[in-house]
Amino acid sequence: MSATSEAPRVTPRQVTRQRRIMGAKRTWASFRRHRSGLFGLGLLTFFLLVAIFAPLLADPESIEVTKATGGVLESPGDYLLGTDENGRSIVALLVWGSRISLFVGILATLISMVIGTLVGLASGFFEGWPARILYRFTEWFLVIPFVPLAIVLATVLGRSLVNIVIVIGITGWASTAMLIRSQTLSIRERPYVERARLLGAGRWHQMSRHVLPNVMPMVFANTTLTVALAILAETTLSFLGLGDPTRVSWGTMLDSAFGVGAMTTGAWWYIVPPGVCVVLVVLAFTLVGQALEEVFNPRLRER
């Protein structure tokens, strides 16, 4: 002890902080090598900035039906991407729609992440019948097809933004739980967890201090991938008429475009741009998620 006390004083907290910074640097260095991941990150940053600065990019009044200034389904000209059936600028709708679409995607994913991680950790860590029951429960949810279940839930709960988030959140957690479970099973057998166990660590300590921190990177990678699916789910529910009619999202835009027959009347500017936005954002989340997965999973990196 006397030897260390002569060295410059470093608190354990500083050490951990140093290590975290080093870890983050390593992760970034490794992520940077994925060109597709960087491309996705760039796209994502762009859309996030658009969503955050929506009020600066488009006047909030421009998406109010009663204050619309354009003609009905005007083709691109006066307005960069034309207008919708209410005479609102498509660009303004896209800008404001990005908020709702991203909000629904991210919030729904948070719900599935929390449920999925808790169930996955518990079913991977406990033994005996509680684990078996949780595993079965996950399997049950895994096989139920999403759209029929979501339709039923959304019908029963009613149509609002919060309900859409809940529906997507509680239908999407099972695959996360399965992934976390298999990760937990493998981490549980590692020497350092065994050592902690032998030193008398309780289940809670093992879980919170050893298993959870090691599962977190995979949870993070999985989260980005799930956001992509949640955004797709939002468009599908909106298309089925289960979206919140009072809010503009890319999904509800596509739904109204389909409703007014934009495709058959040749109003491509109404139906193509929102779809392209969905594709780009979903692709961005997917690419980032895949790159993160490779960064965090050494088995994949070796290949």
Residues binding other proteins (CB under 8 A): 36, 136, 139-149, 151-153, 155-157, 168, 171-172, 174-176, 178-179, 182, 185, 218, 221-222, 225-226, 228-230, 232-233, 235-236, 239-242, 254, 258, 263-264, 268, 271-272, 275, 278-280, 282-283, 286-287, 289-290, 293, 297, 300, 303
Minimum Å gap between C-beta 3 and other proteins is 44
146 or 201: CB nearest other proteins: 146
Amino acid at 30: S
Catalogue the long-range contacts made by 256-263 (C-beta closer than 8 Å, 24 or more residues apart): 256/84, 256/85, 257/84, 260/73, 260/85, 262/73
| Nearest approach, Cβ of residue 23 and other proteins (Å) | 20
Nearer CB in complex with other proteins: 54/178:
178
Identity of the residue, 170 or 201, whose beta carbon is nearer to other proteins in the bound complex: 170
- Closest approach, Cβ 180 to other proteins, in A, equals 10
Cα–Cα dist 299/163, whole Å? 39
Residues in Cβ contact with 75 at an 8 Å cutoff, skipping those fewer than 6 apart: 82, 267, 269
CB of 171 to other proteins, least distance (A): 6
Cβ contacts of 265 within 8 Å, gap of 6 or more: 73
Q: Is the CB of 74 or the CB of 234 nearer to other proteins?
A: 234
For residue 89, which phi and psi values (nearest 5 degrees)?
Answer: -65, 130
